[in-house]
Structure 1
Amino acid sequence: MERFEITYSQAEQSFVIPPGAVRPEGMALAIGFFDGVHLGHAEVIRKAVAAARERSQIPAVLTFDPHPRVVLGQDQYHTVLTPLADKLDLFASLGVEAAFVMKFNKEFSQVPADKFVKELLLTMGAKTAVVGFDFRFGHRGQGDASLLRIAAGGAIDVQVVDPVYREGVKVSSTRIRELLAEGDCEQAAALMNRPYEVTGTVVHGKALGRQLGFPTANLDAAGAYVLPRHGVYAVKVRGAAGDSSEALNGVINVGVRPTVDEDGTVPKLEVHLLNFSGDLYGRSLKVQFRHYLRPEMKFGSLDDLVAQIREDAIAAEEWLNAAK
């Protein structure tokens, strides 16, 4: 999948579109931030891909980075369900052939909606635009699907996708965040159509887990991920054996480790792989959160901690094996 970075120059009052990004043959463009690339987002993207195939256009996505609400001062969105690299991989898996990343900043947030359509979408060669039911764009969110149609002057066929429901619940990034905050991995996975996943690199820690008989991989997350509720989870882990296709059973602690770090405030990700031995330092791991086992606790002694870790490992393996 080709990737293009688009910026807006305040000095020039124009979009900076890189060479090769303009598509004279025409594109079917799915437009949105698409955090989580959940079932609703996937429906928008699939419709764009289907339209592209029917009309001999290029299936493409226009997304934004970082989250517009961060730039506009809504700090609760400083974390995301899918950092940009993850989103691009998911777009490609849905059949997208070109991804356009609009760098979102304060200057771009002030661009009028009609200018966005005329000087970016039309210039790029968008002939079909597929958006979600709540899509807004332009300064102060003044643009919607109707304005997009008008500003394009009939040159872009605009399609709006209705909300997607699963078991009576509207699929949304907000709802997925809420479920993860509750530790409900299964319901979050149902709305995303895949387990929630965090990618990171194994870095050196204090090696306390190894001393206790349960070596852990300290994960440095490869993005500002939304972290689920603090606690212990049964997980599937890819990348441990150098083969991303092999998933191993594991257990992860998400939290501040109150038993060994009394003053801990920054959440850590510590993964223990079951029935595995080997050097993981420097490896990139993909951790899929499958099931919440228990909340994070402070234990009276290291012996109590070890006993609980042993119980967690047994519970995780039983659950993961039964879930196959």
Structure 2
Amino acid sequence: MAVTVGSFDGVHLGHADVIRRTVAAAGQADAQPALITFEPHPRCVLDPANCPQSITTLQEKLTLLEAAGIEHAIVLTFDRALSSLSPSEFVDRLKAVMDLRRWVVGFDFAFGRQRAGNSEWLRSNGFEVDVVPPFTFEGKSLHSSDIRRLAGRARAAEGDFIAALSVGYRPTFGGTQLRVEGFLLDFEGDLYQRRLELRFLKYLHPDIRFDTPADLVQQLKRDVADTRRIVQPLAK
């Protein structure tokens, strides 16, 4: 197996780069591409007060991973027992069920108790390791936690709509929970408690804490105008 490990929440462009390199590494090593992920998110166990709300459900994530070329997606239940494993213990458990030929990991990858394992640890223990550099999008490194205000599209049973999208904490109102919100342009109706498919097409700006709700409303109007300007030509 050529394997990569991580949460992969949202399966964004940075994740896609790691997955693409994993699939390529598998081809070079005459192996199969595999990905190990966790449920729940490790931070929800290690730091419950800052547990992030998932951008995608587990099933959505697995569907996206399969579409990206991952042949084996292994979901490990993340709990205190798993977090207490040393790097050697964690790797030994993997070796017991798969032939680990090559690792593909991010530049800041760490694993095992107290994050004692990393790419250098893997190399020192005889593994071939590819380290993926930071993925930059419009001049900045991309992480799941960096996805904030975006232009995109929303698909519902009623059709496919241009949407101004937000993944953030609502800092103007003192929010502490990650929320995913969408404002559908040219749509009238009630979609609360309905399932939507969202596609992120363009990053607009990070979360901003405004002094007043009125300032927030003005920014939302600018976001809607920018979203229409960016997304509408793509539909033609």
**Unmatched tracts of structure 2, length 5 or more:** 169-176, 205-209
**Residues 240 and 280 in structure 1, CA contact (< 8 A), matched pair in contact too:** no
**Percent of aligned pairs with the same amino acid:** 36
**Residues 250 and 316 in structure 1, CA contact (< 8 A), matched pair in contact too:** no
1:158 to 109, 118, 129: 129
**Residues 162 and 185 in structure 2, CA contact (< 8 A), matched pair in contact too:** yes
- Displacement after TM superposition at 1:271 (Å): 5.6
**Residues 161 and 184 in structure 2, CA contact (< 8 A), matched pair in contact too:** no
Secondary structure of the structure 2 residue equivalent to 1:321: helix
* Cα 1:91–1:268 shift into 2, 3 Å: closer
**Residues 154 and 184 in structure 2, CA contact (< 8 A), matched pair in contact too:** no
Larger Rg: 1
Which position in structure 2 is the counterpart of 1:248? 161
Which position in structure 2 is the counterpart of 1:209? none
Alpha-carbon displacement from aligned partner over 1:44-77 (angstroms, at most 9, x marks no partner): 2111101222333111111112221221125323
Residue-pair matches, total: 221
Query: Which residue identity does 2:137 align to in structure 1?
Result: R
**Residues 162 and 228 in structure 2, CA contact (< 8 A), matched pair in contact too:** no
The CA distance in 1 between the partners of 2:80 and 2:193, in whole Å, is 36
Secondary structure of the structure 2 residue equivalent to 1:102: strand
1:129 to 99, 103, 112: 103
- Displacement after TM superposition at 1:166 (Å): 3.3
Query: Which residue identity does 1:35 align to in structure 2?
Result: D
- Displacement after TM superposition at 1:91 (Å): 1.2
Work out whether 1:274 is the aligned partner of 2:186: yes
Which position in structure 2 is the counterpart of 1:28? 2
1:37 to 7, 11, 30: 11
Work out whether 1:120 is the aligned partner of 2:94: yes
The CA distance in 2 between the partners of 1:35 and 1:268, in whole Å, is 13
* Cα 1:283–1:118 shift into 2, 3 Å: same
2:84 to 103, 110, 116: 110
Query: Which residue identity does 1:162 align to in structure 2?
Result: P
Aligned CA-pair RMSD: 4.1
Stretch moving more, 122-131 or 61-70: 122-131
Alpha-carbon displacement from aligned partner over 1:196-234 (angstroms, at most 9, x marks no partner): xxxxxxxxxxxxxxxxxxxxxxxxxxxxxxxxxxxxxxx
**Residues 250 and 274 in structure 1, CA contact (< 8 A), matched pair in contact too:** no
2:154 to 222, 225, 237: 237
Alpha-carbon displacement from aligned partner over 1:97-146 (angstroms, at most 9, x marks no partner): 11001110011110111011122245322221111111111111111112
Which position in structure 1 is the counterpart of 2:174? none
- Displacement after TM superposition at 1:248 (Å): 2.5
The CA distance in 2 between the partners of 1:165 and 1:272, in whole Å, is 28
Which position in structure 1 is the counterpart of 2:68? 94
* Cα 1:254–1:52 shift into 2, 3 Å: closer
**Residues 163 and 182 in structure 2, CA contact (< 8 A), matched pair in contact too:** no
Secondary structure of the structure 2 residue equivalent to 1:79: coil
Secondary structure of the structure 2 residue equivalent to 1:125: coil
Using the size of structure 2 for normalisation, the TM-score is 0.72
**Unmatched tracts of structure 1, length 5 or more:** 1-26, 187-234, 256-265, 299-307
Using the size of structure 1 for normalisation, the TM-score is 0.54
Query: Which residue identity does 1:287 align to in structure 2?
Result: L
